[in-house]
Every structure is written in C-alpha cells, then in structure tokens.
Amino acid sequence: MQFHLQVQGGPSGPQTIAIDAASEAEAIRQAARNGWRVLAIGSTESTGAGASAPARLSKQPFPLLQFSQELLALLEAGLNLSEATATLLNKETRSGARATLAAIQRSLQQGKSFSDTLADFPAVFPDLYVATVHAAERSGNLPEALARFVGYQLQFDAIRKKLVSAAIYPTMLLVVGTLVTLFLMGYVVPKFSVVYESSGREIPWASQMLLSFGQTLAAHPWLCAGALGAVVLGVVLGLGNAAMRRKLVLAILRLPVLSAKAAEFRLARFYRALSLLLHAGIPLSKALAMTNAMLLPEQQVQLVQTRRAVEQGLPFSTALEQNALATPVAQSLLKVGENTGRLGDMLERSAKFHDEEFARWVDWASRLLEPVLMTLIGVVIGGVVVLMYMPIFELAGSLS
C-alpha cells in the first residue's frame, strides 16, 4: 500500500511525500529514518478498477482523551470492544478521527488484538498508552486501565490549563503596554518635538534623545510597521515549529527561578506515568525505560543509571535517591510502598502531592508577576511622559 505523508524537516518546510509500506506504522518509521517528522498521514487504497484513490490527509489531532473516556463508558455499560468501537465510529463526524476509528474497526474484525491495532498508529497512540492496553489485555482489566489513563491525562491537562491561564494576563499586559508605548513614541512625541523646535529653547539631553527617537519612528512608519510585523511573524512561526518551540521551552526552563520547579514538575509526571504502568502489570525495569521521554535531558541520563542500579538489585527508592530523581516526599512514600507492596499507589500519591504544590506555586507566581509587570509598564510609560514634559517644567521654573 502507498501512504501519503505530510512531513516537515527539510529546508523547504512542510511537504507531502509518498512511501510504499505494509502498514501505516512502517511508513512512519521509514519517514523517521530519512529525517522527516510526520505531521499527517493518509493511504492510497486500490479501487475495484485497479485505480487508486488517495485518502484525505487529516491535519486535526486525534482526540485521544475523548476517545478513551467514551470507550471506557461503553465498556462499563456492557458492550464488548468491537461493539464499542463500532458505536464510536458511527457517531464520529470529523473526517480524520473517523478514518482512524474505521481502521481500528477493520483490524479488530480481522482478529488483531486491540494493543497491536493501536501500535499501528504511533502518531496517534503513544507508547505509554499502547503498553497499558497491552498489559490490560493480558490481565483482563481494560476498563480499569483506561480509567487510570483518563485520570492521568486529566490531571496533566489541568496543570497545563492552569499554566496557560496564568500566562494569558501577563501576556496581554505586555502587548498592551508595548502598543501604548509605540503610540506615544510614534505619534505623541513627534507632535511635542515640533512645538519644542519652534520655541528655540534648549532642551534637556534626555528629552532630546526621546524626541529624536520619536521623530525617527514618525519619519519611517512603514519601515517600523514592517519590522514589528516581521518580529510578530517570527514569533508565530517559531512557536508553530515543534523543534523551535521545544528549544525555546528548554531554554526558558533553564532559568534559575524556573529550573528547580520544571525538574519537580517533570518528576511528578514521571511518577504518575510510572504508577500507571505498574498498575497495568508492566515490570519496573521496562516501565522505567518507557517513561524516559517524560524527563528533561539531564534527568534522562540519571534515569538510565537508576534503571541499571535497579536491574543490579538495588531498591528502587535508593536508586532514585542516589541519582537525584526522588524528592524528600517521594523518597519517604516510596520506602513505604516498597515495604507494603504498594509502590504504584505511593508513586501516585507522590505525583498528586507535587502537582498540588506546583499548582499553588503557579498561583503565587502569577499573583506576583502581574503587579511587577504593571509596575514596569507604568515606569516605562511614565518615563516617556515625564521626558516629554520636562522642557515645559523647566520653562515654568524659569518663568517663576
């Protein structure tokens, strides 16, 4: 079968390539080996006349959380897996999600296991999800595994939404403050400069610099607007590129104030994912290898050493402590979990504790950042106004 992949990674930006492969997963692997990052994929299926009709590429992400919640509800209602997926397919209206569900339904009807079916869509279902489903199939507790994954994803989404909401107001403050400053510099300041030049009086040095800058902006409005547009476009394109966005996030997370909290947040996510895998019945060593991508690059090196120590017989809590992957709270809880045989539950408790602590820190940081930004913007705008009126103040002083 021929697959049409929308990929990114070359100098020319996103483009569509065709790859002949036995399955969608194999096509994605071939693209990855060639250095491409897959954005969307569609297949070319043979028609009755021997012609081929390429499937429409879906650019919409598959709603994994919604799919898991709805599948869990249908399974708990008494439907079997095939009936549940058929029901989800019949109700789906989005073309991309419907195509994925149709492929899943065909694979199940052909006798393929659910986990193997999901593994054929690595761009949709992460390894953590596939491994959880695979372990649940062996133990016969698929609804319980889906419920744990839904809880895991909901908690992560709640933290992400809190971060986004906390960043909206400071961002709006910066945008509005920048626009007001540009208006003062490009429109109001040049008007004052004309008045001061006609007066023939000597202007203070700081005010003269401000007026000269304002006159430059007013003399080249389209150049300034183009430069501002280029900056905005560069920011938008940079945020839209996954590689650039990842580099930007890693650079921000290395700041002194944020580095410790970022490491703690990653550890909480690592604890929760590890708990999910252990509850699904996956061995600890394999679970550690599967959660490697959830940590920062520095922590990933420490995790490899931790896994090696666990395989050599060292207690898990001790191995985490030696490699700086255990917070004081997690260290105490994990020791209890090892002694009671409830390691998965203690990992979940550790993640919940740190998630709540991180949420409180986000609230505190947002409350602190807002007045700081307002003060900074007020100082900038107030400084511009004072420099504009300084010659008038000096004139009034000389007259008095």
Cα 235 to Cα 229: distance, rounded to the nearest angstrom: 10
Would the CATH topology of 64-153 be identical to that of 162-393?
yes
Which CATH superfamily, name and number, covers 162-393? Type II secretion system (T2SS), domain F (1.20.81.30)
Helix (H) or strand (E) holding 5: strand 2-8
pTM value? 0.66
pLDDT in tens, 270-326: 888 888 888 888 888 888 888 887 787 788 888 889 989 888 888 888 888 888 888
Contact status, residue 343 vs residue 337, Cβ threshold 8 Å:
yes
Contact status, residue 176 vs residue 207, Cβ threshold 8 Å:
no
Cα 389 to Cα 209: distance, rounded to the nearest angstrom: 13
Domain spans, the chain? 2-43, 64-153, 162-393
pLDDT of residue 49: 39
Percentage of the chain modeled with pLDDT above 90: 0
Structural tokens at position 302: 């420490």
Work out the number of other CB atoms within 10 angstroms of the CB of residue 132: 27
Band (pLDDT 50/70/90 cuts) for residue 56 is: very low
User: What architecture does CATH give domain 64-153?
Assistant: Up-down Bundle (1.20)
pLDDT in tens, 124-171: 888 888 888 888 887 778 888 888 888 888 888 888 888 788 788 888
SS3 49: coil
